[in-house]
Amino acid sequence: MIKLIGIEKSFNPGKSNELHVLKGISTEVKDGELVAIVGKSGAGKSTLLHIIACIDSYDSGEYYIDDLLIKNMSEKKLANIRNEKIGIVMQDFSLVEDFTVLENIMIPLDFAKNKRPNAKELAKEVLKQVNMENFAKEKVRNLSGGEKQRIAIARAIINNPSLILADEPTGSLDSANTEAIMDLFFSLNKQGKTIIIVTHDKELAEKCHRIIEISDGRII
């Protein structure tokens, strides 16, 4: 479960261009929930997701993952938490274009504390889950957007995280690919993963269990 209590975040604090982006965000997401975060451009959705992902810090409030307070932690500790508990999928895929599909998927395994002897087998297994088993040796740069997003999802789940976070994962995809990627998220959710998706797509948000709407840094 994740729990946010009164989360505040400003960029450029104390400067003339200070921007108070999150103004007291409090919510809980239970294990196994599928939640959409929606709101206008600039509302603070990505900022909130980055805090949940332990990529960005917050100024005040409290953020817990499974009763662990994520506050004032070293970058090393945060990296470990990300690696063990969280899978992240971005709109622009964030893949290494010159690496093969298999090499991309195996990147998180290199950072994992417990090295797996069967890394390649595991990567192939995960590729199967996203219906991309025939693309293992292909360079990522040769793939379509929909295929790249499948690979990004495969990379996000290879360490078997309980929490999957996605920032506009279908933002650059056509409607057929959007549906396929969403089906993949629904199936991961049915397997028990907690999933939080930032999206502009109303139709997609309505298929989630719950919608959190952010407006001007607050949940409405």
Ligand X SMILES: Nc1ncnc2c1ncn2[C@@H]1O[C@H](COP(=O)(O)OP(=O)(O)OP(=O)(O)O)[C@@H](O)[C@H]1O
Smallest separation, CB 17 to ligand X (Å): 8
DSSP string, 29-89: E-TT-EEEEE--TTSSHHHHHHHHTTSS--SEEEEEETTEE-SS--HHHHHHHHHHHEEEE
Interface pick for ligand X out of 41, 72, 74, 118 (rule CB under 6 A):
41
**Residue of the chain from 2, 47, 101, 143 that contacts ligand X (CB under 6 A):** 47
Shortest Å distance, C-beta 49 to ligand X: 8
Which candidate, 212, 220, 216, places its Cα nearest to that of 49? Answer: 212
Q: Which of 2, 7, 29, 39 binds ligand X (CB under 6 A)?
A: 39
Residue 13 in contact with ligand X, rule: CB under 6 A: no
Among the candidate windows 40-48, 114-122, 129-137, 187-195, which touches ligand X by CB under 6 A? 40-48
* Beta strand pairing call for 194-198 and 60-65: unpaired
Q: Which of 45, 82, 150, 155 binds ligand X (CB under 6 A)?
A: 45
- Is residue 9 involved in binding ligand X (CB under 6 A)? no
Place of tokens 């939080």: 196
Rounded distance between C-alpha atoms, residue 58 and residue 10, angstroms: 8
Residue 46 near ligand X by CB under 6 A: yes
Stretch that binds ligand X, among 41-49, 58-66, 97-105, 205-213 (CB under 6 A): 41-49
Binding test (CB under 6 A) with ligand X, winner from 44, 108, 161, 169: 44
Residue 166 exposure: Cα atoms within 13 Å on the Cβ side: 34
E-strand ranges in 67-209 read: 68-69, 86-90, 163-167, 194-198
Using the rule CB under 6 A, which residue among 2, 25, 29, 43 binds ligand X? Answer: 43
Residue ranges that bind ligand X, judged by CB under 6 A: 11, 19, 21, 39, 41-47
